Amino acid sequence: MTTPVPSPHLASSDAPTLSRRTALVLLGFVIVIWGINWPVMKFGLETLPPFSFAAVRILLGAITLFAVLAVRGRITLPKRQDISVLASVGLGQIGAFLAFITLGLGYVDAGRSAILSYTTPIWVVPAAVILLGERMGTRTVLGLILGFIGIAALFNPWEFDWTDRDALIGNGYLLLAAFAWGATILHVRVHHWHSSALELAPWQLLVAATPLGILALIFERGLWPPLDQATILVLAYNGPISTAFAVWAWLSVNRSLPAITSSLGSLGVPVVGLIASVIALGEPLDVASVAGLAFIVGGLILVSLDPTAAVKSR
């Protein structure tokens, strides 16, 4: 997804849950919005430098969510017990993730970028086994094998030029994005939350925007272009829609649908991202990308369906 959001930790403290039908419709909107945003971001980065683009979109998303909470009378300061994970999610799961994917998009096709960003669970599962004592069932093991086969397909020497320095840098940034998101997931799993997901979301976005804004001021001040209509439309899509609305919708979906349903549904994002990039940007639909996507999505489905994957060993 183009804007990773905090897990639906204290979902029960938010507004009443949605009907299943409404939640499924919202899930469909999220999949399409985040999938389409891959070529939209690629287009935006043709004029906007990466740190500036990431900082502005996150800041616009934060402002929108603060406005929504203000209307509902629900703006509250984060509780002291949540400060550590607020920083972790803001800096890692949102800030570092978006910084790395915007840097990677400067070198790599949007479709391939969407696929690589969704390798996060492949790295999280073995880390959770080692660090958190979680167990892997047969489906998880098979899912990881399929996932690594998918990654190997993306980097096979017949399709990937290992002598291309830009390709190595760009793909490296995208894998770092997946690692940054994954490291935060491990923290989220062990943290005991004291605030609701929606109330913390704008603060987490604000935390993410701060270092990105500083980096933009240091490295990109002379690179800011005049805001033309196309750039404004890209930012309007990325801030209020892809960040703020999609964050709210995703949290609502996670509260209203079983975790397996929402997690499996989210796998539609890289599929839509790949198709949208082919249509909108004319990117080639090569065998490696299709095979990599198929293996990775298949592997993640197996992991999601494993009833023992989230059970800690004792």
* pLDDT tens-digit readout, 112-129: 999 998 888 788 778 777
Residue 254, CA atoms < 13 Å, CB-side half-sphere: 20
Exposed, middle or buried: residue 306 (CB in 10 Å: 0-12, 13-18, 19+)?
Answer: buried
Which of residues 296 and 313 earns the better pLDDT score? Answer: 296
Distances (CA, A) of 247 to 3, 148, 157: 8, 29, 38
Distance from C-alpha of 268 to C-alpha of 199, rounded to nearest angstrom = 27
* In 191-245, alpha helices (H): 197-219, 229-236
pLDDT at 135: 76
pLDDT at 132: 73
The answer, yes or no, to whether residue 210 has pLDDT greater than 60, is yes
The answer, yes or no, to whether residue 130 has pLDDT greater than 50, is yes
pLDDT at 5: 54
271-292 residue pLDDT tens: 999 999 999 999 988 888 899 9
3-class SS of residue 134: strand
**Residue 27 token pair:** 């899930």
